[in-house]
């Protein structure tokens, strides 16, 4: 019994942490991966474990039996194995509540976590106090025994933190990973089960090979992949248009048209093409080098190449799987595009290049990663821009709430002499651009007015020129590395949108 009990404690500890890591990946496909979602997940997991610890000690005192303990862990294994089969229905229902603007992402993820993980995690919380009771025959050794068992459980948890992230999820997918840990936990429980319950283990093994289908069912799904960072989906519409969708699917991150002659998207991406026109006498030849932080499937790189020619472009994307998808499904094969797979801050810290345009379009929808919003980050941007350089980013507003836009204007104004905003018509997008030199709206509009309205840039100019505004600091918050509450402000925007009549 000693070695079997030790193994069960180890596997139970491993499974409890693996459930948490898998849960974050599963919830990310529906609600994103913000700090609020992580707070919901970690907080509820700790509540479940607390309840399990509390009940486990009392149950062990009344029924100190290995058969009872193994029945508990077997039940935890079976409920873990059920998660892949019921998750899509539960999480899709919760996500639909968001799309119908009836609850927030916070509440929907809270509900989804309660329904999916309460039973298996609570049952796993019973294991350690129950095992201590079974292993303690001599009260004089209770401290040593309990310390050893908790150390073994924690060692299992360490493996449970790394194994899913580094191997199982990228190799087998998050739902298959749930099944693998369910089978391992059931196998570790067999020694104490009644013979009649052991055939259930065979059913758990069968579940490992059952077809599961896509993690989410969305219209026109062509390809899906679970990467280290994202749940990646590619859709192809009946007209051949391909769209890159990530995680919860509330935004399109890249687009590719079947018509090779089509350049403009009609979205905020087109606005980035006008950034060089803040400087006097702009010509395509004056754009010498471009950086894109948040490359995704390469839509911006494709537009810049089509309009400005083979200007060198450094595209930065943290997820290598997205880069592969961009090359395969979005024709991201421009010879002038050099791809760096790393975080935007890391890229800026290691490159010595100077750029005429730096575009920031990195999202963990609906949030911009905080490290790409701060005064310190824009100081790094400043150091990598040419004397005529421009930095451009995309953010959001509602009909009445521009707090996020104002925060960016406040922050960027501390680094750059001129800042501008563009509200993209019929959307909640606002582009913010800043220039290295003092510039003006008048110069920008004058430059755009020289473009032939029948050309691609002429079409963009016709849309952009009326909406450009000078950005003025309002004395409000400035994002810094120490304090950048971008997720809180974004969630307040969403809440205000929900409350609008």
DSSP assignment of 170-239, as one string? HHH-HHHHHHHHHHHHHHHHGGGS-GGGTHHHHHHHHHTTS----SS--TTEEEEEE-SS-EEEEEE-TT
All residues at 6 or more sequence positions from 316 whose CB lies less than 8 Å from its CB, including other chains: 291, 292, 293, 294, 295, 339, 340, 342, 343, 344, 347
Handedness of CA 445, 449, 453, 457 (dihedral sign): negative
What pLDDT score was predicted for residue 154? Answer: 93
Give 304-345 pLDDT, tens digit per residue.
Answer: 999 999 999 999 999 999 999 999 999 999 999 999 999 999
- Do 271 and 135 lie in one domain? The reply is no
Specify the CATH number for the domain of residue 147.
1.20.1250
- Do 145 and 62 lie in one domain? The reply is yes
Closest alpha carbon to 313 in 325, 324, 299: 299
Mean local confidence (pLDDT), 357-376: 87
Two tokens, residue 12: 């139970």
- Do 288 and 434 lie in one domain? The reply is yes
Closest alpha carbon to 430 in 459, 392, 463, 380: 392
Specify the CATH number for the domain of residue 334.
3.40.50.150
**Residue 344 labeled ligand binder:** yes
Residue 206 clears pLDDT 80, i.e. is over it: no
Give 378-436 pLDDT, tens digit per residue.
Answer: 999 999 999 999 999 999 888 888 999 999 999 999 999 999 999 999 888 999 999 99
Closest alpha carbon to 332 in 375, 290, 378, 295: 295
- Do 271 and 203 lie in one domain? The reply is no
Task: Please indicate whether residue 241 or residue 283 has the higher confidence score (pLDDT).
Answer: 241
Give 30-77 pLDDT, tens digit per residue.
Answer: 666 666 677 778 888 899 999 999 999 899 988 899 999 999 999 999
Sort residue 62 into left (φ over 0), alpha (ψ -120 to 50) or beta. alpha
- Among 101-115, 248-262, 340-354, 462-476, the range scoring the smallest mean pLDDT is 101-115
Q: Final residue of a domain: which of 187, 207, 227?
A: 207
In a domain, 177, yes or no: yes
Q: Domain count for the chain, please give it.
A: 2
Task: Please indicate whether residue 300 or residue 498 has the higher confidence score (pLDDT).
Answer: 300
Q: Is 82 exposed, middle or buried (0-12, 13-18, 19+ CB in 10 A)?
A: middle
Cα–Cα distance measured from residue 445 to residue 53, given in angstroms and rounded to the nearest whole number:
67
∠ CA 51-30-488 to the nearest 5 degrees? 80
Question: What confidence category does residue 194 fall into, taking pLDDT thresholds of 50, 70 and 90?
Answer: confident
Q: Which residue range is the domain that position 328 belongs to?
A: 267-499
In a domain, 217, yes or no: no
Q: Final residue of a domain: which of 207, 234, 252?
A: 207
Q: Final residue of a domain: which of 207, 234, 251?
A: 207
**Residue 96 labeled ligand binder:** no
- Among 39-43, 123-127, 284-288, 370-374, the range scoring the smallest mean pLDDT is 39-43
Question: Which are the catalytic amino acids?
Answer: 361
- Do 178 and 272 lie in one domain? The reply is no
Task: Please indicate whether residue 213 or residue 309 has the higher confidence score (pLDDT).
Answer: 309
- Do 149 and 272 lie in one domain? The reply is no
In a domain, 458, yes or no: yes
pTM for the model stands at 0.77
In a domain, 185, yes or no: yes
Count other C-beta atoms under 10 Å from residue 459's C-beta: 17
- Do 319 and 422 lie in one domain? The reply is yes
- Do 188 and 306 lie in one domain? The reply is no
Cα–Cα distance measured from residue 25 to residue 422, given in angstroms and rounded to the nearest whole number:
35
- Do 333 and 421 lie in one domain? The reply is yes
In a domain, 215, yes or no: no
In a domain, 66, yes or no: yes
What pLDDT score was predicted for residue 418? Answer: 97
Mean local confidence (pLDDT), 172-179: 88
Two tokens, residue 67: 């058969």
What pLDDT score was predicted for residue 96? Answer: 62
In a domain, 337, yes or no: yes
What pLDDT score was predicted for residue 366? Answer: 67
What pLDDT score was predicted for residue 101? Answer: 45
Q: At what angle do helices 142-163 and 127-135 cross, to 10 degrees?
A: 140
- Do 184 and 297 lie in one domain? The reply is no
């Amino acid at each position: 019994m000693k070695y079997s009990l030790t193994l069960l404690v180890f596997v139970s500890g491993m499974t409890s942490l693996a459930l948490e890591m898998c849960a974050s990946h599963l919830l990310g496909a529906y609600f994103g991966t913000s700090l609020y979602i992580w707070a919901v997940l970690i907080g509820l997991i700790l509540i479940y474990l607390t309840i399990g610890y509390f009940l486990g000690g009392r149950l062990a005192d009344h029924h100190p039996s290995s058969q009872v303990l193994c029945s508990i862990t077997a039940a935890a294994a079976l409920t873990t194995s059920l998660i892949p089969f019921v998750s899509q229905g539960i999480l899709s229902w919760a996500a639909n509540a968001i799309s119908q603007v009836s609850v927030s992402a916070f509440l929907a993820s809270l509900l989804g976590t309660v329904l999916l993980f309460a039973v298996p995690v609570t049952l796993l919380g019973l294991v350690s106090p129950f095992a201590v009771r079974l292993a303690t025959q001599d009260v004089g050794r209770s401290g040593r025994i309990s310390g050893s068992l908790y150390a073994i459980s924690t060692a299992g948890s360490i493996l449970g933190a790394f194994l899913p992230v580094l191997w199982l999820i990228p190799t087998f997918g998050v739902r298959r990973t749930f099944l693998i840990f369910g089978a391992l936990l059931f196998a570790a429980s067999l020694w104490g089960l009644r013979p009649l319950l052991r055939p259930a283990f065979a059913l758990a093994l069968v579940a490992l090979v059952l077809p599961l289908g896509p993690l989410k069912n969305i219209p026109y799904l062509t390809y899906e992949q679970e990467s280290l960072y994202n749940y990646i989906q590619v859709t192809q519409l009946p007209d051949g248009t391909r769209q890159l969708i990530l995680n919860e699917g509330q935004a399109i991150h890249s687009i590719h048209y079947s018509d090779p002659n089509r350049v403009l998207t009609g979205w905020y991406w087109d606005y980035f093409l006008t950034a060089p026109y803040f400087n006097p006498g702009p010509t395509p030849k004056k754009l010498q080098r471009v950086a894109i932080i948040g490359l995704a499937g390469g839509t911006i790189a494709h537009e810049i190449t089509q309009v400005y020619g083979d200007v060198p472009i450094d595209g930065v994307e943290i997820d290598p799987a997205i880069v592969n998808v961009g090359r395969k499904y979005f024709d991201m094969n421009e010879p002038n595009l050099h791809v760096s797979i790393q975080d935007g801050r890391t890229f800026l810290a290691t490159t010595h290049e100077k750029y005429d345009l730096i575009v920031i379009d990195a999202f963990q929808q609906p949030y911009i990663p905080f490290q790409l919003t701060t005064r310190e980050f824009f100081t790094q941007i400043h150091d990598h821009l040419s004397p005529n350089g421009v930095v451009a980013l995309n953010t959001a507003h509602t009909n009445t709430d521009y707090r996020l836009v104002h925060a960016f204007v406040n922050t960027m104004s501390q680094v750059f002499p001129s800042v501008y905003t563009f509200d993209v018509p019929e959307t909640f997008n606002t582009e913010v651009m800043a220039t290295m030199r003092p510039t003006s709206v008048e110069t920008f509009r004058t430059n755009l007015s020289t473009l032939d309205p029948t050309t691609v840039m002429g079409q963009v100019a016709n849309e952009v020129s009326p909406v450009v505004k000078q950005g003025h600091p309002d004395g409000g918050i400035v994002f810094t590395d120490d304090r950048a509450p971008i997720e809180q402000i974004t969630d307040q925007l969403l809440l205000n949108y929900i409350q609008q009549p």
